[in-house]
Amino acid sequence: MSYRKKYEEDLRKDSQNVFEEHRLCKKGEGRWLIKRKREEGWESMYAAEIICLFNNSIYVGGDIDTVVFSYGPPENEQRLRWLGRQTSGTEYLREKASIGMGGRELVEDWDPQCAREELREALEELEKEEKEEEGEVDHEEEKETLRHALRLIDDGSSAVWQVLYDIPDSWESFENLGQVTSPKVFYAQAAVAKLCELLGLFEEKSEPEPEPKKDP
């Protein structure tokens, strides 16, 4: 399993576990508050407020980092169910959070270990191609660029990209290099999934769900 995939799976499990004991604390028109309930009362740690906004978006905040997801179905319950069911894969979830928050940089983090693994995989692919072609191709210059980039990993993504720009089509090959979905996206989605469970929204419905609103 790749580092990226394990990272995402571990984060998803961790975020689901955080909300395992949460209960519905308050509710209003299009808004809900979930918290853990102890013998001494409601606990504020990891309390999550979920609000269905007017523009087919969902706000998730509270004692977790704020994330806004856009654009879902128009009806509140349908929109909650739409987001609560996003429990596999991350591309779609990250895209909706990116739109809602106003940019990818707000829902992604630079992960040096992920970048290191992906650069090593690219280096191995070039070496494999050279071996298979038996001297017909020479990637030595490109390999040296990747080795240089590997040495700069801990200096951050900007330093790495200054080197990678020397490789033809580098943006296409390394567009998501080392960029992983931020933990706050997983925690926000897990909070909505827990709310759906508490409201009984995951129970089978006889009528089909409407398609989410297309991005403008």
Q: Which two tokens stand for residue 183?
A: 């933990």
> Model pTM?
0.84
The number of residues making up the chain comes to: 216
10/169 Cα distance (integer angstroms)? 32
pLDDT in tens, 145-196: 899 889 988 888 888 888 888 777 776 778 888 899 999 999 999 999 999 9
pLDDT in tens, 134-150: 767 788 888 888 998 89
In order of 21, 46, 73, 147, the CA distances from 18 in angstroms are 8, 7, 27, 40
Q: Which two tokens stand for residue 201?
A: 């929204």
Which uninterrupted H or E stretch holds 60?
Answer: strand 58-62
User: Which class for 44: exposed (0-12), middle (13-18), buried (19 or more C-beta within 10 A)?
Assistant: exposed
Contact assessment for residue 123 and residue 197, using Cβ atoms and an 8 Å cutoff: no
Where do the structural domains in the chain lie, given as residue ranges?
3-109+181-199, 112-177
85 vs 129, higher pLDDT: 85
